[in-house]
């Protein structure tokens, strides 16, 4: 019996490795669906997502999300070891550390893995992030992320659903302050609402707007490559 369990675990591990290996090249051209979306489909929960190419998403949102989620996005190739080292150094006595996930790492988690901060998931997430960064351009990576990120409490995924829910407009038409608020929502879309922002969310959005303005030209140049 124990041998059979080990065999099943080995096969599951191999499958876990093969799925991203096969799908990442496909997703370079085909709009992907995240694991959370698939689970909601299977369990009958609502999913609201309208894929939008990056040309139809406001540059304000692109810059704000990069500034908020991965400020060194244009400097690393999937994993930001500078931020990872800082996160380890900042860990407290209980081993709790601030997040250091890059946009490629978060995209890997959304597409292929499971939620949470377990070290096993992180160990799998890192090589997938490197693989995606090798196979996709920076432009494609942020495009996919902006279309699979969970952005609301009722199954809203992607920039278009987020913009329509919060501001009743297309993602193409987002103003800088609106984009910054949506970027501030991303870590906790179940508790944060850009349509009715708390004072704390407004302050965070204002900070991200300033950071996005500062990073504007380098990000534009990075995504044009």
Q: Which residue range is the domain that position 10 belongs to?
A: 2-223
Count: domains in the chain: 1
| CATH number for the domain harbouring residue 110 | 1.10.3810.10
- Over residues 196-212, the pLDDT tens digits come to 999 999 999 999 999 99
- Summarised one tens digit per residue, pLDDT across range 117-176 is 667 777 888 999 999 999 999 999 999 999 999 999 999 999 999 999 999 999 999 999
pLDDT score recorded for residue 187: 86
b/e per residue, 201-224, with b = 16+ CB within 10 A? beebbeebbebbeebbeebeebbe
């Amino acid at each position: 019996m124990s041998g059979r369990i080990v065999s099943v675990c080995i096969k599951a591990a191999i499958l876990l490795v093969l799925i991203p290996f096969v799908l990442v090249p496909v997703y370079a051209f085909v709009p992907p669906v995240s694991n959370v979306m698939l689970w909601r489909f299977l369990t009958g929960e609502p999913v609201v997502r309208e894929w939008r190419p990056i040309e139809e998403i406001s540059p304000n949102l692109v810059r704000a999300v990069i500034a908020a989620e991965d400020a060194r996005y244009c400097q690393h190739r999937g994993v930001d070891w500078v931020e990872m080292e800082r996160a380890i150094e900042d860990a407290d006595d209980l081993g709790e550390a601030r997040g250091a996930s890059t946009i490629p790492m978060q995209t890997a988690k959304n597409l292929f893995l499971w939620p949470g901060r377990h070290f096993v998931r992180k160990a799998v997430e890192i090589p997938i992030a490197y693989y995606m960064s090798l196979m996709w351009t920076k432009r494609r990576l942020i495009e996919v992320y902006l279309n699979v990120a969970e952005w609301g409490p009722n199954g809203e995924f992607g920039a278009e659903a987020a913009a329509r829910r919060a501001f009743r407009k297309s993602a193409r038409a987002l103003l800088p302050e609106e984009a910054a608020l949506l970027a501030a929502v991303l870590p906790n879309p179940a508790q944060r609402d850009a349509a009715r922002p708390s004072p704390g969310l407004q302050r965070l959005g204002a900070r991200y707007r300033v950071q996005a303005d500062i990073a504007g030209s380098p990000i534009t140049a990075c995504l044009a490559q």
